[in-house]
Amino acid sequence: MANHRQRIAKSESVTKGVFDFLDKNWQGVAIILGIIAVFIWYQALELNKVLDWGKALSGISTGIKETALELTPEASPELPPLTQEPETPAPIPPSSTFSQKAANGQGITHLARQALDEYLATAKPQVTLSREHKIYVEDYLKDQVGQVRVHPGQELSFSSDSIAKAIELSQTLTPNQLANLTKYANRVPSLQAYQPIQ
């Protein structure tokens, strides 16, 4: 019985010690708990950013289309007829394709961006593409593919004709239209302008 009473007394003394500590140091404990709560909240936000990437890319595409619709007819460029050939000849066969395999978390826009980069490295067109031009080209290629759900390991192909046509159309954008695309280009920090090799 003595052991049982000693254990109860010891347990009460530990509990009393914890309460005494909390009573004396409640502000420090509150700060530590607040820091932990902020850290958990930040981690949850980061996880949401990763999980909502597809939704974000869809929002960017919708924003680009809405921006194009908001332009006045006077500001809209005359687009060349669809039968017109690209002004810059590409040293690759016109029927070639650029196939891209989707990694985890990648969608059509990512694959279009990779295909454009591969095309530029292969064809080396004599045209300057700003980051805004590239955003336009990516969106054009994405629209050519249509609404497709991309799964990791899935391959999508983009024809050199489509890429060349998108580049050609991007060159007809007005300064106003390019300025409207800047906010979308800024959301992709890794996007680099393309300069032809002289």
- The model carries a pTM of 0.53
User: Hey, where are the domains in the chain?
Assistant: 2-51, 53-185
Residue-level pLDDT, tens digit, the chain, 198 residues: 556 666 666 667 767 776 777 778 888 777 887 787 777 777 766 655 554 555 555 655 666 656 555 554 555 455 555 555 545 444 555 568 888 999 998 889 999 999 999 999 888 888 999 999 999 999 999 988 888 888 899 998 899 999 999 999 999 999 999 999 999 999 988 888 888 876
Q: How would you label 82-104 residue by residue, b for 16+ Cβ within 10 Å and e otherwise?
A: eeeebeeebeeeeeeebebebee
